[in-house]
Amino acid sequence: MRRPDVVPDPTLPARVTIYEVGARDGLQNEKVAIPTEIKAEFIRRLAATGLETIEVTSFVNPTWVPQLADAAELLAELGQEGVGPRRPVLVPNERGLDRALAAKVEAIAIFGSATETFAQKNLGRSVAESVEMFRPVVTRARDHGLWVRAYVSMCFGDPWEGPVPIAQVVDACASLMDLGADELSLGDTIGVATPGQVVALLDALAERGLARERTAVHFHDTYGQALSNTMTALRHGITTVDSSAGGLGGCPYAKSATGNLATEDLIWALEGAGIDTGVDLEALVATSAWMAEQLGRPAPSAVVRALAGA
């Protein structure tokens, strides 16, 4: 299989951690129910490529996201492969945490919003009310020794409110991290960010005391900017990147959101810059091509299309 020519880029970090979201964020918007055993096989294949961190599923109310209604069954199917500090699951509230704890998970993610409209549509609460909802979730999770990630959606733009002021985003991020989360993920939910915005937000977060080493980026590719925004973030101190195998993804509550940054596209760029990811690109392309067959359509990833076709 063809590989990128390597020209080391000293402006980038020596190693990048990939936080794989394909099994959760990638599949949550699929309209046709995917069998639990297919999801489990997808996760096993992703793990076999060398991806260390894989977000497995979500313990949200099944009426919110029907595709993930089988969260408990999926974790039972995976057994030890589905739990551990590198197998986080999304939880929206204490009921979700109860289900996650019953499944013996060791890492969770909560999900807030930088805008009021999306907070109401996604969580049925204001931004402030959602923070209070998450307070006991994080406290109990930490009491049980769980690792906790905090997602913040709509960090760069909102389909209802338009551009989001940086100070508003910083406030939303700080309020969730102040609860005791270990890691922050900045979500460009509708894929409108540009590199200048990325730098401005990272600088503002640093001024607030939110360290880059505890911050990840999560870009959607609606306008084809996900990879350029990611490379900009990496050049400004970020070392953890959310991406989705094959470029799968979308958001049930933001219809303008398209797929995530494709993991294969990210790895191609990083390998070309001489950066170690620990992931077997050929095996990952094969995994995404297999998943595309299960879904009955080509993978959105440009690298998958190029290499699988070749």
Residues labelled as active-site residues? 251
Asked if residues 65 and 108 have their Cβ atoms less than 8 Å apart, the reply is: no
What span, in angstroms and rounded, lies between the C-alpha atoms of 282 and 306? 12
278, two tokens: 């620990």
Asked if residues 233 and 270 have their Cβ atoms less than 8 Å apart, the reply is: no
Backbone angles phi, psi at 10, to 5 degrees: -70, -10
Which residue is it, tokens 């959606």? Answer: 153
Asked if residues 83 and 103 have their Cβ atoms less than 8 Å apart, the reply is: yes
Which residue, 145, 31, 23, 33, is CA-closest to 75? 23
Residue type (1 letter), 16? V
**Buried/exposed code over 194-225 (b: 16+ C-beta within 10 A; e: otherwise):** bbebbeebbeebeeeebebeebbbbbbbbeeb
Beta strand extents in the chain (DSSP E only): 17-20, 53-54, 89-90, 107-113, 147-153, 183-188, 215-219, 240-243
Which residue is it, tokens 């490529």? Answer: 49
